[in-house]
């Protein structure tokens, strides 16, 4: 059996335990090096990148009528959106004092913001959707590519036929909906996304029109939780590879490291972590993100009855509890590969 320890112990010994796919500079900062680490993962990464870049040449979904077109790669953080407005509206890009504050305030109050929060399964992704959905200025959508993923992959998930029948299975229509006008006339559109749902045949151009963020969790905890529903998960089921590939795609496209938050940080200090996240995407933090009413939501996916029992009982983020889980020996290779990816992304988390 493989003993699962806490993330701090893993982080302290990671230099000797894994070959990390980033380089530590003299300043202590991390330089992203795509496709590092496990040889099989490097080969899959290169194949995915080549395929994805070919598909991406098809172009981006145009901005909806009446909205400002998104800069290539999307403005990952509010300062980029502010710079765009300053440069194109004033021709200077050098507003100062009250003028700069006025422009930034106007942007914060009126600019639509589409947040795609990318995670794998068995994370705190649904609780985080509850948090954002409790804001008065935010509409949410729950795993919009799930029906498409189930139809194309033919994986055996609880209620799969019902999800496919009820959901949109055309990824182009899903992408258009995610980048069109925000539902309910809200300013923020929070999109709970699963990285493994973004199949290779789905073009990535639309990703440049949303603000991409990444929610990570110690894979040993993820696998232990996932195996309660599926006793024999495959690497592709867990979403870590796809999360790393998408992280690299967004970073390469924008030239900026996208926001990353760790589930443990959220549970240990929800307000601090959510304030950091709000600041990173350019919105004001709201106390409403810290607590919500119990029960189901109309915005929950039809699959909620199979997966959301604990979240439906919740009224806030539950405090983090360090657990020692035991994984079967057959999961060692998959777990090691996921840990390598997790530790790499964790170096970039908001803190």
pLDDT in tens, the chain (351 residues): 544 444 344 444 433 333 333 222 233 333 444 445 665 565 555 555 554 455 554 444 444 444 433 333 333 344 444 333 333 333 334 444 444 444 454 445 578 999 999 999 999 999 999 999 999 999 999 999 999 999 999 998 989 999 999 999 999 999 999 999 999 999 999 999 999 999 999 999 999 999 999 999 999 999 998 898 778 889 999 999 999 999 999 999 999 999 999 999 999 999 999 999 999 999 999 999 999 999 999 999 999 999 999 999 999 999 999 877 789 999 999 999 999 999 999 999 999
- 117 contact partners, CB below 8 Å, separation of at least 6: 125, 128, 129, 190, 191, 192, 193, 213, 214, 215
- At residue 232, φ and ψ (nearest 5 deg) are -140, 65
Strands (E), 106-185: 113-119, 138-142
Residue 67 lies in a domain: no
Domain that holds residue 44: 2-24+32-58+75-346
Output the domain CATH number for residue 252.
3.40.50
pLDDT the model gives residue 198: 96
111 lies in some domain: yes
Query: Is residue 312 domain-resident?
Result: yes
The packing angle between helices 39-56 and 240-254, to 10°, is 50
Alpha carbons 328 and 140: distance in angstroms, whole number:
37
Phi, psi (degrees; rounded to nearest 5) at 200: -55, -30
pLDDT score at 41: 61
CB 180 within 8 A of CB 226: no
In a domain, 68, yes or no: no
Rg (CA), the chain: 20
> What is the structure's pLDDT at 39?
57
Question: Does residue 93 belong to any structural domain of this protein?
Answer: yes
Whole-structure pTM value: 0.74
Domain-embedded: residue 70 = no
In a domain, 87, yes or no: yes
How many domains does the chain divide into? 1
Has residue 351 been placed in a domain? no
288 Cβ contact list (under 8 Å, min separation 6): 134, 135, 136
Neighbours of 193 (CB within 10 A): 29
Q: For residue 42, what pLDDT is reported?
A: 57
């Amino acid at each position: 059996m493989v003993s699962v320890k806490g993330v701090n112990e893993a982080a302290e010994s990671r230099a000797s335990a894994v070959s990390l796919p980033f380089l530590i500079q003299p300043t202590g900062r991390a330089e992203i090096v795509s496709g590092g680490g496990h040889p099989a993962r490097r080969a899959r990464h290169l194949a995915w990148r080549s395929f994805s870049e070919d598909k991406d040449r098809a172009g981006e979904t145009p901005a909806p009528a009446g909205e400002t077109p998104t800069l290539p790669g999307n403005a990952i953080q509010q300062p980029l959106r502010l710079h765009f407005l300053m440069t194109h509206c004033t021709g200077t890009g050098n507003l100062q004092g009250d003028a700069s504050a006025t422009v930034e305030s106007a942007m914060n109050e009126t600019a639509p913001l589409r947040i795609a929060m990318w995670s794998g399964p068995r994370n705190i992704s649904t609780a985080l959707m509850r948090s954002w959905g409790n804001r008065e200025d935010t509409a949410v959508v729950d795993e919009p590519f799930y029906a498409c993923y189930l139809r194309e992959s033919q994986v055996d998930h609880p209620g799969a036929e019902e999800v496919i029948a009820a959901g949109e299975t055309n990824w182009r229509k899903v992408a258009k909906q995610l980048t069109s006008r925000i539902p309910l006339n809200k300013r923020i559109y929070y999109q709970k996304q699963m990285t493994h749902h973004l199949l290779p045949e789905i073009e990535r151009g639309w990703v440049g029109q949303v603000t991409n963020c990444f929610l990570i969790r110690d894979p040993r905890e993820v696998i232990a939780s996932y195996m309660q529903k599926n006793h024999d998960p495959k690497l592709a089921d867990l979403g870590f590879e796809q999360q790393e590939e998408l992280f690299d795609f967004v970073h390469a496209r924008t030239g900026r490291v996208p926001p990353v938050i760790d589930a443990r940080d959220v549970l240990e200090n929800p307000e601090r972590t959510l304030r950091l996240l709000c600041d990173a995407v350019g919105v004001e933090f709201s106390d409403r993100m810290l607590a919500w009413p119990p029960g189901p939501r109309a915005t929950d996916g039809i699959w909620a009855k199979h997966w959301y029992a604990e979240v439906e009982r919740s009224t806030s983020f539950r405090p983090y509890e360090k657990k020692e889980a035991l994984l079967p020996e057959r999961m060692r290779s998959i777990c090691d590969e996921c840990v390598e990816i997790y530790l790499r992304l964790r170096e970039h988390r908001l803190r």
